[in-house]
Amino acid sequence: MFERLVPKLRVNTVFDIDLEELFRQGYRGIITDLDNTLVGAKAPLATPELLLWFTKVKELGFKLIIVSNNNMDRVSRFATPLNIEFVHQARKPSNAPFLKAMKLMDLKPEQTVVVGDQMLTDVYGGNRLGLYTVLVLPISVKDEGVGTRINRRVEQIALTRLRKQGLWQEEDKS
């Protein structure tokens, strides 16, 4: 069970993802979480840096879709002005939103990357379907809702177990 919480890649932010390398490896679509992955949970719009990242993603040839557990209003206000497709109230880690996103992009699991800030929703959901999972550090933990705060506590318990099993090594900060 705990092994499914381990992402294929851990980075600080979406900007640290080597998009060119992923494309070379055959990935063609990115399913990304919204809150605390792309912007803080209370940030209504994309930052200038994120707009440049979206441009790079599309220029490289990736398809992109936002899959969020948040409501229609929140996700639509962010994604619609950017002309980005989305799945709202996704109920991650359920398979359904990931399958829907892949269908919308017309891609298979082996062509799809999932990027998110939560092990229990984004990573677990993506790993169960054989997607390439990328865990980013949350942007603004102080703005998270109650459900996410509970998930973070469960993640800490899981991390303790993963470390004991040798499945989670800390990054070398030197």
Please write the tens of the pLDDT for every residue from 59-86: 999 999 999 999 999 999 999 999 999 9
Q: Are 6 and 161 in contact (CB under 8 A)?
A: no
Residue 71 near residue 89 (C-beta atoms within 8 A): yes
Within 8 A by CB and 6+ apart from 56, the residues are 19
Q: What is the pTM for the complete model shown?
A: 0.87
Tens of pLDDT along 142-160?
Answer: 666 666 777 777 777 677 7
3-state secondary structure of 143: helix
CB contact at 8 A, 67 and 97: yes
Region 129-140 average pLDDT: 93
Long-range contacts of 107-112 (CB under 8 A, 24+ apart): 107/28, 107/29, 107/63, 110/26, 111/26, 111/27, 111/28, 111/29, 112/27, 112/28, 112/29, 112/30, 112/31
Residues 6+ apart with CB under 8 A from 109: 102, 129, 130, 131
Q: Is the pLDDT of residue 115 over 50?
A: yes
Q: What residues pair up with 112 in beta bridges, in sequence order?
A: 29
Which tokens hold the place of 135?
Answer: 């865990």
What is the C-alpha to C-alpha distance for residues 46 and 117, in angstroms, rounded to an integer?
17
Determine the pLDDT at residue 155.
Answer: 75
| pLDDT of 1 | 62
